[in-house]
Structure 1
Amino acid sequence: MQQANYLQQLLVTLRTRLLVMCASVGIALEEAGKALVANDPGRAAAVIESDVAIDALENEIDEMALRLLARSQPVASDLRFVVTSLRMVVDLERIGDEAVSMAEQATLMQDMPGFSVIPHVRELYVSAREAFENAVRVFRENDAQGALIMSRGDDEAVQTEVRIIQGLMEGLSDPQNTLEPHQAMHIILVTRSLTRIWRRSVNIAEHVYFISRGESLKHKGESRDVMFSAPATPPAAGGFTPAAVAGFTPANEGGAPAAASGEAAKPHEADANEKNPSRRNRAEKATNSEEKGAEKNDTAEKGTDNA
């Protein structure tokens, strides 16, 4: 009983540290967005500095989870939670890194007065933040149904990114557009970071579903696509089916079945005989000799019978 209570205390502590890391990453993401909107290098520098604390939380949670596995040996849902926490911290740390990347773009654009990236990617930024907040809520409430709904929205992030990049390409090709190539580069980099944040948030939701239901949602759509898109096996050369090539031989010219596999000529030997006349003659003589020998044996057997 005491061991069970100790295990539950460790699990509560692990969950609390995960929620603290979620809050730290959420703040970094929000501040990075504000730095881009306000073109504020000071706020961007604060986001970059906060990444050290996020990395320290990742190391702390890793050590805590491994220690819990070694000493308490949890089972069932407790084991799934501990194992999943090791995966979840990776996604959280990567989201923090993408927030740092956005902050770095804000720092690089401080010499571009009046220019802001956010108006070009506002839709994606709002959606990425909502995805992260929903993932944290799903984890906090252990909402398996909400996690399942989130797992189906992964493609939307990619579609939004494609629309933004297409708009940028059209703007750069329009001579009347004031968009500069270096500005488009910053927008694309921020767009990539936001897409990764969205998809990492979906990963967190899938982890929650695994904790709650014990079923993994990873690669479900990919496996179905591979299964239904696999091409059929083409027929073998010469019109034979794969089964015929594997273990059957075609009928001979007279319509009778071919000889047994032990008596039939091997394909490579037949080809060699056709290409080499002398070899073909030797093969025919050998065959005639065998036939004559068989006839002599039959004659001898008949003589024996008559005797």
Structure 2
Amino acid sequence: MREVFQQELAEVQERLVEISRLVAISIDKATRAFNESDVGLAEEVIADDDKIDLLTVELDELAITILARQQPVARDLRIVVSALRISASLERMGDMSTHIAQLARYRFPDKVIPKSLRPTFRQMGALDVEIANKLTELLTTEDMHLAETIRNEDDKVDALHLSVFDAVLGETWKGQAADTVDATLASRYHERFADHAVSIAKKVQYLGTGDWHQDSNA
């Protein structure tokens, strides 16, 4: 019975990794669609979000079944409950990718962001993609150094996010009202994507070390 339970826990981890890989693909496509005004890529991201949602639901059902049948305790219980919380964060990361892609589709054939802010959003997009890839690696290997790397990269995203607000609120900002709204929303989506990754990294770190690192992204 214990062997079956361990197999089920391994399947939970494998499913988390699979969803994380899809999220990494999604944010890569979404940021490219956003920066390059590629409506085809944007449509792919929007359509593929249903698969992320479905896999998340299936994982949650598996975890609930394990809780009901195996009645795990101690660390095993924390693993299953954490999997439920991690899957929810991954689903939200997929949603953030979709929101970014929707902005690209809505503004096509124009680019979403005025020229002055495009380098900032390219940096934010590149960081989000890197964070997503590191997160998949973390869920695969449980290498705790990756958790710290993700937190450090998130700090860079936060700084860029604040710089966008400084720009759109500054006296030299020449954008129209729609430009201001688009830049604010897009920046928030990028920032929240990274925040959810940090939340997941903290949970993995807690399972691996027993230490909970509290911060504003909890």
TM-score, reference length from structure 2: 0.87
Q: Distance in 2 between matches of 1:215 and 1:5?
A: 28
Where in structure 2 are the equivalents of 1:1-307 lying within 5 Å?
Answer: 3-112=1-110, 115=111, 117=113, 118-148=118-148, 150-151=150-151, 154-170=154-170, 173-174=171-172, 179-219=175-215
Q: Distance in 2 between matches of 1:39 and 1:154?
A: 25
The structural deviation recorded for 1:116 is 5.2
SS of residue matched to 2:35: helix
Q: Contact conserved, 2:27 with 2:128, CA < 8 A, in 1?
A: no
CA offsets 1:237-265 (integer angstroms, 9 cap, x no match): xxxxxxxxxxxxxxxxxxxxxxxxxxxxx
AA in 1 matched with 2:126: V
Q: Contact conserved, 1:129 with 1:198, CA < 8 A, in 2?
A: no
Which one has a bigger Cα radius of gyration? Answer: 1
Superposed CA RMSD in Å reads: 2.2
AA in 1 matched with 2:72: P
Structure 2 unaligned segments of length 5 or more: list them: none
Greater RCO structure (CA 8 Å; 6+ sep): 2
SS of residue matched to 2:212: coil
AA in 1 matched with 2:138: V
Q: Distance in 2 between matches of 1:84 and 1:199?
A: 17
Number of residue pairs aligned between Structure 1 and Structure 2: 213
The structural deviation recorded for 1:69 is 1.3
The structural deviation recorded for 1:111 is 4.1
Q: Distance in 1 between matches of 2:160 and 2:101?
A: 21
Q: Contact conserved, 1:65 with 1:85, CA < 8 A, in 2?
A: yes
Structure 1 unaligned segments of length 5 or more: list them: 223-307
Cα distance, 1:23–1:149 mapped onto 2, change above 3 Å:
closer
AA in 1 matched with 2:19: M
Q: Contact conserved, 2:112 with 2:182, CA < 8 A, in 1?
A: no
The structural deviation recorded for 1:158 is 2.7
Q: Contact conserved, 1:80 with 1:210, CA < 8 A, in 2?
A: no
The structural deviation recorded for 1:100 is 0.6
Give the % identical residues.
Answer: 27
Would you tell me which structure has more helix in proportion to its own residues?
2
The structural deviation recorded for 1:84 is 0.6
The structural deviation recorded for 1:46 is 1.6
CA offsets 1:40-71 (integer angstroms, 9 cap, x no match): 22221221111111111111111101111111
